[in-house]
Amino acid sequence: MFSEQAPPTAQGLLGPPSAEPPTFPRVPVLGYSDCSGPFQLAERSFARQYAHVYSVRLAGMRPVLERRARGLWGKDVLVRKLSELQTGEKCCVVGTLFKAMQLQPSILQEISDEHNLVPQPPLPKYIQPSDELILEDELQRIKLEGAIDVQRLVTGTILAVYGSEQDDGRFVVEDHCLADLPPPLPWNGPSSDRFVLLASGLGLGSGSGEALLGTQLLVDVVTGQLGAEGEQSCAATISRVILAGNLLSQNTQGRDTINKARYLTKKTQAASVEAVKMLDEILLQLCTSVPVDVMPGEFDPANYTLPQQPLHRCMLPLSSTYATLHLVTNPYQADLDGVRFLGTSGQNVSDISKYSSMDDYLEILEWTLLAGHISPTAPDTLGCYPFYKSDPFIITECPQVYFCGNAPHFQSKLLQGAEGQRVLLVTVPEFSTTQTACLINLRDLTCQPITFSSFGAEDED
């Protein structure tokens, strides 16, 4: 665990000043390679339709699913396209799932003049018992019924169903399967303890001061200013810090400039200006001591559609002069010290939780890994770039650490796959509310939360 060697010298600093105190060198970066190339958009043309995303997704995942189907239901199971279906014949079909939901906010309804409806307010969950599942492949679609959990699945998942078509055009499902874990990567992890700190939801600019001391304590621990000598030497084993999104708080999103009259807002700055300055200072303190990867999140000044592009350098003038600052994309994939990391800032998971009966972020995270796709609900309910050549969200190689940011609380789980994959699933909690960050030990893929607290006006127990 973190700071295991610390206790012996725990009280060391309760004494008169000693001779020159030791300084510890930060562990050098063993190996870092940024694998988020597919998430960086070069040219951006939105002139394409989004249907291409689904077709490349299906084309990309069809072979995997067919293999899996054969493995599950026998080598000679018939894999048919929807157009080749014959009534009553048991076969397996691979396609994209579409969930017809009544409550799903539809832009067509909103702008429909006849209805004169007020746009639907955002709900925490849009599922209803009357939702239906429809399977689509390249040419046709068919309604699904049977042994399939309608509430749990979301639009955009590619799956294989095994069953037969009925006379009235419905497909009765006996069994279904997802793509399951992708093939594993060889393990190149470090042999000694090395930690990566994962934090998200710093929530700067929110106007609440309590979280700021926590953030400062976090920075102090990582830069080695806090703690006795033992703790500091342990902090020196933190080889990297990843900030997974939502560095600014939701309060900075106020769009007063749109709603209010111009003469009221002319001289005011957007709230995010101050917040970004604060972020810059915090990042500067971190960067002088440890490599940092900064991912944009839902409330950060980056684009809305996934994959979110890195934050712009000129927003962080002080800290971007350091080579230790890396601004990275939102689904972020990288090889840190030989361990493959893959993670997002949480938008995909929260979107799935809105359209599915799954509530637990860890469960959803695991489900996306099993489904082989980082965010199946894009572009249906989550903004996405219209890809047409390939879908970069398909998980092709099994990451060794899979995380999502801005979860309500910290959870972690080590998943073991059939082909020897070991994945550490981590839901990184929001720092601004929970004052908790995660420390991942790269040597043995364990995770430990680290909480900060200070004393407030009232007595804490």
**Which residues, 16 to 75, sit near other proteins by CB under 8 A?**
16-18, 20-26, 28-29, 40-45
Interaction with other proteins in 235-254: which residues (CB under 8 A)? 235-236
- CA–centroid distance for 23 within its chain: 36
Enumerate residues 282-321 that contact other proteins by CB under 8 A: 284-285, 287-291, 301-303, 309-315, 317-318, 320-321
Phi, psi dihedrals of residue 240, rounded to the nearest 5°: -160, 155
Choice from 56, 77, 228, 415 touching other proteins (CB under 8 A)? 228
Q: Which residues partner with 161 through β-bridges?
A: 93, 176
* Near other proteins in 109-138, by CB under 8 A: none
Q: Which is nearer to other proteins, 6 or 177 (CB)?
A: 6
Which is closer to other proteins, CB of 171 or CB of 387? 387
Instruction: Figure out which of the listed residues 14, 108, 139, 418 binds other proteins, where binding follows CB under 8 A.
Output: 14
27, 33, 36, 38: CA torsion to nearest 10:
180
Q: Classify residue 11 by burial, with Cβ atoms within 10 Å: 0-12, 13-18, 19+.
A: exposed
Q: Which is nearer to other proteins, 168 or 461 (CB)?
A: 461
Q: Does 217 bind other proteins (CB under 8 A)?
A: yes
CB of 257 to other proteins, least distance (A): 4
Shortest distance in whole angstroms from residue 80 CB to other proteins: 41
Which is it for the CA torsion 224, 230, 236, 240, positive or negative? negative
Q: Which stretch binds other proteins (CB under 8 A): 88-96, 223-231, 358-366, 424-432?
A: 223-231
In the block, tokens 């597919």 appear at 38
Residue identified by tokens 């200006």 is 273
Binder of other proteins out of 157, 200, 223, 330 (CB under 8 A): 223
Residue (140 or 225) nearer to other proteins, CB:
225
Provide the minimum distance between the beta carbon of 65 and other proteins in the complex, in angstroms, as a whole number.
33
Interactions with other proteins, residue window 400-429 (CB under 8 A): 410, 412
Size of the site for other proteins (CB under 8 A): 106
Considering only residues 257 to 276 of the shown chain, the ones binding other proteins according to CB under 8 A are: 257-258, 265-267, 269-270, 272-273, 276
Q: Closer to other proteins at the Cβ: 52 or 170?
A: 52
Query: By C-alpha distance, which of 249, 110, 92 is closest to 161?
Result: 92
Among 165, 229, 337, 366, binds other proteins (CB under 8 A): 229
* Among 34, 66, 281, 360, contact with other proteins (rule: CB under 8 A): 281
In whole angstroms, how close is the CB of 68 to other proteins at the nearest point? 33
Q: Which of 368, 364, 436, 447 is nearest to 201 (CA)?
A: 436
Question: With contact defined as beta carbons under 8 Å apart, do 447 and 440 qualify?
Answer: yes
Contacts of 106 (CB under 8 A, 6+ apart): none
Nearest to 441 by CA among 197, 225, 271, 270: 197
Say how far apart CA 349 and CA 406 lie, in whole Å.
10
Peptide bond into 38 cis (omega under 30): no
Residue 82 or 247: the one with the smaller Cβ distance to other proteins is: 247
Q: Stretches 91-99, 166-174, 347-355, 453-461: which one binds other proteins (CB under 8 A)?
A: 453-461
Find the binder of other proteins among 55, 164, 216, 251 (CB under 8 A).
216
- Tell which positions 318-377 bind other proteins, by CB under 8 A: 318, 320-324
Residue 349: which region, alpha, beta or left (left: phi > 0; alpha: psi -120 to 50)? alpha
* Angle formed at CA 351 by CA 345 and CA 356, multiple of 5 degrees: 135
Nearer to other proteins, 329 or 350 (CB): 329
Q: 66 φ, ψ to 5°? A: -65, -40
Nearer Cβ to other proteins (188/208): 208
Report strand pairing: 436-441 vs 195-199.
Answer: antiparallel
Task: Please state whether beta strands 422-429 and 436-441 pair in parallel, antiparallel, or not at all (unpaired).
Answer: unpaired
CA–centroid distance for 405 within its chain = 6
The whole-angstrom separation of Cα 309 and Cα 277 is: 20
Ranges within 137-166 binding other proteins (CB under 8 A):
none
Among 114, 167, 168, 460, binds other proteins (CB under 8 A): 460
Element (H, E) at 271: helix 271-287
Q: How far apart are CA 74 and CA 346, in angstroms?
A: 37
**Smallest distance from other proteins to CB 18, Å:** 6
Task: Please state the closest distance from residue 17 (CB atom) to other proteins, in A.
Answer: 4
Distance CA(164)–CA(149), nearest Å, equals 17
Shortest distance (Å) from residue 385 CB to other proteins: 11
353 neighbors 403 (Cβ within 8 angstroms): no
- By beta-carbon proximity to other proteins, the closer residue of 307 and 379 is 307
Comparison of 315 and 339: residue with beta carbon closer to other proteins: 315
